[in-house]
Amino acid sequence: MLYLVPTPLGNLKDITFRAIEVLQSVDVILCEDTRTSSRLLNHYNIKKPLSPYHQHNEHKVATHLVDQMQAGKVFALITDAGTPAISDPAFFLVRECIKHDIKVECLPGATAFVPALVNSGLPTDSFVFEGFLPLKKGRQTKLKQLALEDRTIIIYESPMRLVKSLEEFAVYFGSERQCCVTRELTKLFEENKRGTLQDVAAHFKAKTVKGEIVIVIAGKG
């Protein structure tokens, strides 16, 4: 069996009782970075073997993991933060498990785009989640498509590219399009900056940007 277990975005208290119980009960915990995951597991006194599972090795180790699960081992998969498979590794392993009739169960829990959307003040009844946009090939085509999107748009971005992306969005979507940039969710210096794409870009251009970032942009409608 495979459990997909969401982990806190930053505040270690943002984990469910059930997630802790599952992590304490499995045979092995798959994780992106053993050093990052060890901090969480040590905090809750969870002592289970850790095995690396990330975007660079997921195709290589999937068959071996499926064989072990078919032999009776139970695995939990966690990422550095948030829900597995949401702009993080997991999809490929889930698909392989389903293909081989191995039970997969995903626990509810932390996902960055949900609180970012809810506190943005933008419509939440209909939205499109794009994750990280292409950096080069296909980016212009994607931006032209999103410029016509009526639903609220959610995008993940790195701090190094934030200002450049906001300025790019202002060109394609219009500088007065409303947006909200959320960074450092659940952490001490959490920030939610709301306004037009032009104004928000200027705000972050005047400071050093750090942390995980979610951009929420109003739809064309």
Q: Which domains does the chain have, with CATH numbers?
A: 2-106 (3.40.1010.10), 113-217 (3.30.950.10)
Q: pLDDT below 70 — which residues of the chain?
A: none
87: its two tokens: 């702009």
Q: Which residues of 194-221 are buried (b: 16+ CB within 10 A; e: fewer)?
A: bebbbbbbebbeeeebebbbbbbbbbee
Tell me the residue type at 181.
V
pLDDT 10s digits, 51-105: 999 989 999 999 999 999 999 999 999 999 999 999 999 999 999 999 999 999 9
Q: What is the pLDDT of residue 221?
A: 81
In percent, how much of the chain has pLDDT > 90?
Answer: 95
